[in-house]
Structure 1
Amino acid sequence: MARMRLLGLQWLFGWMNLALAVPAIYLMFGMPVVMRQHDWSGTEIGLFQLAALPAIFKFLFAVPVQRMRLGRGHFVHWLLLLCVALLALYWQLGRANLIDDHALLFALTLAVSVAATWADIPLNALAVQWLPRAEQMRAGSIRSAAMFLGAIVGGGILIVVQARHGWQAPFWLMGAGLALGMPPFLLLCSRAAPRGAMAADQAPEPGMLADWAGFFGQPGARQWTLLLLTSFPFIGAAWLYLKPLMLDLGMPLERVAFIVGIVGGSTGALFSLIGGLLIPLLGIARAIVLYLLVTLGALVLLTLTVWMPLGEEGWLIASAILVAAGMGLVSALMFGLTMCFTRRQRNATDYGLQVTLFTVARLAVPVLAGMLLDVLGYDGMLAVLTLGVLAAFGIAFRVREAVARSTQPMLVERDGPACP
């Protein structure tokens, strides 16, 4: 019975991570297609992406979530409060077609980005609080899979829904998905709080800077930070430029959208789940090296395919799928280890700090890659990204044992907080 409760919690957290990921993906990565159809300029579409900036301030959003107590089970109350705010924003966005009201659409999208980014903090703080440490690597893989599924839903399915059923339909669907995940948290909050939650509620609060310094004072935290900053951004940048690469090599738009959006997204989700299942079998140290090695192999194959070229479209498709698989494995590892390095009494602040570091690196590398593309072309850009993954692999090889030693006691902990 306890196992079934844990499984239910895992999928509840996965559903809510999906519900919070979809709106930002839909508004900022799906909507540009619609914007272009309504004569938005390239500059306007580019400036619209600034609505994603709240993600880099997650470490600041985490502070009030950690410190402002909203009663017993305050993380649940924070989550539900922010979800209600999101529902109100969906209603406002869906009242009328705003595609021609650029300023209002940007303002509401920015508000959605803030609310969804903020709600992610109490949600994943609850995952750290309510799941035993031995379950948190699996929670990370489920969250990674939810991100890939969110890209399929927000970047593809909802665009089709809007084209066929009108402006309002996607907002109604996103609101329904979010509302569906809220009642279980309310029910769980009404029960006895987990032991870890009670300890967190009673913990004295240090100063904000001391809180962040305490995170880096954990055994293995500095090595983990190097891994966090380097493991994903290079493969993520390659994935971002895959669509324009395929288009420039002559592949039809619909085929590119299917391969990268549907097949690639599904592959990433599948390998996120596989990666989470393999980590307990491989161990942290071997998983770090193996997953980075798969990522390196994917970029080497993609680079050789573009350089040589190998002459068949099949090689390019195989490279794209392998890149998606590597992204799924690495992101599952990153999300899982993020939870492992989140202290129970500092759930929100530790999680927010780590995700901010991850986001800054993830946003910075694609910008540099774009500059390299303009100067060196696809060949040069991919070569530099491959060298970046090679450097990340070298870092991973050096820090793997320190990270594994630090997380092993957490992963074998079987007497974590009871299920609520």
Structure 2
Amino acid sequence: MKAPAISYWSLQLLLGWINFAMTAPMIYLYLGLPLVMRQQGWSGTAIGLFQLAGLPAVLKFVLAAPVDRWARDTAGYRRWSLVLLVGYAASLVALAGLDIGKTGFTTLFALAMLASLFGTWADAPVNALAIRCLPETERMRAGTIRSAASSLGAVFGGGAMLILHDRVGWSWPFFVLGVGLLLALVGLYLIRPVHLDTIATPKRSEVGVRQWVGYFASAQRRRWVVVLMLYFPFIGTAWVYLKPLLLDQGLPSGQVAVVAGLLGGVVGALGSLLGGYVTYRRGLHYALPGFAMLALVALAALSAALASHASLPLLTACTVLLALAMGASAGLVFGMMMYYTREGLTAVDYGLQSSLFVLTRTVVPMLAGLLLDHFGYLGMLSALMAGMLGIGYWSLRFVRGMGEMPPKMGRVA
């Protein structure tokens, strides 16, 4: 029995809200909280070490293994999601109970890592649930909505929650973020039973090292992994360094927050949705190399503006173009991840892809920082353009050799 299209839109928006509610706390913890820590007199070393609390994100493929081992049907994925989201919300409440002026590094680090653990772990069953509930024709849209939700979560967690902290104190941002997770829990109950029963439960199989290695047995998946690991990091790294770049160009911090924070986040969300529409209408063969070219143009425009000491309006235009390319690229990658999973190993395969994605998204900015120190912004951006040109060429080869895989992705099928 196929549900009406309107039902899938309801489910899509619900899953988008759940991803928004899971993303915003992470953004606040690792992008917003360092500012609060600095205001409290914490050292740069302590703030840097605090970022290690996000390490569970790299191990998502390990965390996803028990999910697929003990929950193979959609109802099981929902139960896992509920339990882990409760733990996520509880860890935020525990953080809200701290007195930041008297709390030591170890306590803050431990609770932040606990929140990161639950948030990272919950991502596997939630998105496995999305993959199992949605037909193949809806999965690209799900990826773009997830990317848009993440962009808006970044605006909310990295902007609105900092303002809330400044006005009412330490605890309230965590309470608000916790309420968002509780609403996500309610949302999980709103998933109609017809969606939970649309796909037959796959046969139970072992989950371990052999299954992780087995993911790379397919030549098509090996080619996809190259796209997965290299398509986003170059444009994403430019976004990481955009705020310090704008500051170094003489823009006041308030303007940087508006241009690269609020405006960029909203445009990134719109870019994700627009990218999903283009992919659906024109197909993956057009979108994958096309969005890579858009990212290359955005990097070139930013480099040209930097070299010419451009004015604020031109830098703002470059920021908008960069955010648009970043949102479109992220939405496309997130959508494709939903197609490259094996029957009975949905959470494991999604977790493995997420870990690989996070790995290069972390390493490339580190290497770019070294280039920045030695060759300046133009040298760093030149390297990012070279990398984007390379993955753009690979993307063109990838779609030409893809044939009918994955099925029903936009107009590919």
Same fold (TM over 0.5): yes
In structure 2, how many angstroms separate the alpha carbons of the residues matched to 1:136 and 1:191?
17
Say whether residues 1:351 and 2:353 are aligned partners: no
In structure 2, how many angstroms separate the alpha carbons of the residues matched to 1:375 and 1:330?
28
Q: Counterpart of 1:269 in 2: which secondary structure?
A: helix
Say whether residues 1:135 and 2:138 are aligned partners: yes
Q: Counterpart of 1:120 in 2: which secondary structure?
A: helix
In structure 1, how many angstroms separate the alpha carbons of the residues matched to 2:289 and 2:95?
45
Q: Which residue of 2 aligns with 1:374?
A: 373
Give the number of equivalent residue pairs: 410
In structure 2, how many angstroms separate the alpha carbons of the residues matched to 1:313 and 1:410?
40
Q: Which residue of 2 aligns with 1:244?
A: 244
Displacement of 1:68 in angstroms is 2.1
Displacement of 1:297 in angstroms is 0.2
Q: Is there any run of 5+ residues in structure 1 with no aligned partner, and where?
A: 415-420
Q: Which residue of 2 aligns with 1:417?
A: none
Displacement of 1:280 in angstroms is 1.5
Contact 1:51–1:106 under 8 Å retained in 2: yes
Say whether residues 1:173 and 2:176 are aligned partners: yes
Does the C-alpha gap of structure 1 residues 384 and 166 become closer, same or farther in structure 2, counting only changes over 3 Å?
A: same
Instruction: Report which stretch shifted further, 260-269 or 205-214.
Output: 205-214
Contact 2:18–2:187 under 8 Å retained in 1: no
1:248-263 alignment, distance < 5 Å: 248-263=248-263
Displacement of 1:192 in angstroms is 7.8
TM-score by length of 1: 0.93
Contact 1:70–1:77 under 8 Å retained in 2: no
Contact 2:267–2:324 under 8 Å retained in 1: yes
TM-score by length of 2: 0.94
In structure 2, how many angstroms separate the alpha carbons of the residues matched to 1:364 and 1:98?
31
Q: Which residue of 2 aligns with 1:94?
A: 96
CA RMSD of aligned residues (A): 2.0
Q: Which residue of 2 aligns with 1:385?
A: 384
Question: Identity of counterpart residues, as a percentage?
Answer: 40
Instruction: Report which stretch shifted further, 363-372 or 396-405.
Output: 396-405
In structure 1, how many angstroms separate the alpha carbons of the residues matched to 2:212 and 2:198?
24
Contact 2:283–2:412 under 8 Å retained in 1: no
Displacement of 1:265 in angstroms is 0.6
Does the C-alpha gap of structure 1 residues 413 and 391 become closer, same or farther in structure 2, counting only changes over 3 Å?
A: closer
Letter in 1 for 2:351: G
Letter in 2 for 1:366: P
In structure 2, how many angstroms separate the alpha carbons of the residues matched to 1:397 and 1:242?
28
In structure 1, how many angstroms separate the alpha carbons of the residues matched to 2:288 and 2:33?
36
Does the C-alpha gap of structure 1 residues 207 and 312 become closer, same or farther in structure 2, counting only changes over 3 Å?
A: closer
Q: Counterpart of 2:273 in 1: which secondary structure?
A: helix
Instruction: Report which stretch shifted further, 165-174 or 218-227.
Output: 218-227
In structure 2, how many angstroms separate the alpha carbons of the residues matched to 1:299 and 1:187?
42
1:178-327 alignment, distance < 5 Å: 178-188=181-191, 193-196=196-199, 198-200=200-202, 203-218=203-218, 220-309=220-309, 311-327=310-326
In structure 1, how many angstroms separate the alpha carbons of the residues matched to 2:340 and 2:382?
33
1:18-97 alignment, distance < 5 Å: 18-69=20-71, 73-97=75-99
In structure 2, how many angstroms separate the alpha carbons of the residues matched to 1:47 and 1:138?
37
Q: Counterpart of 1:153 in 2: which secondary structure?
A: helix
Q: Which residue of 2 aligns with 1:110?
A: 113
Q: Counterpart of 2:341 in 1: which secondary structure?
A: coil
Letter in 2 for 1:387: A
In structure 2, how many angstroms separate the alpha carbons of the residues matched to 1:72 and 1:128?
9
Q: Counterpart of 2:405 in 1: which secondary structure?
A: helix
In structure 1, how many angstroms separate the alpha carbons of the residues matched to 2:302 and 2:207?
47
Displacement of 1:313 in angstroms is 2.4
Deviation beyond 6 Å, 4+ runs, structure 1: 189-192
Displacement of 1:411 in angstroms is 5.5
Contact 1:162–1:169 under 8 Å retained in 2: yes
1:335-346 alignment, distance < 5 Å: 335-346=334-345
Instruction: Report which stretch shifted further, 78-87 or 402-411.
Output: 402-411
Match of 1:11 among 10, 13, 24: 13
Displacement of 1:195 in angstroms is 3.4
In structure 1, how many angstroms separate the alpha carbons of the residues matched to 2:273 and 2:400?
24
Contact 2:155–2:261 under 8 Å retained in 1: yes
Q: Is there any run of 5+ residues in structure 2 with no aligned partner, and where?
A: none
- Residues 372-411 of structure 1: CA distance to partner in whole angstroms, max 9, x if unpaired? 1111111111111111111111111111223463123465
Does the C-alpha gap of structure 1 residues 392 and 412 become closer, same or farther in structure 2, counting only changes over 3 Å?
A: closer
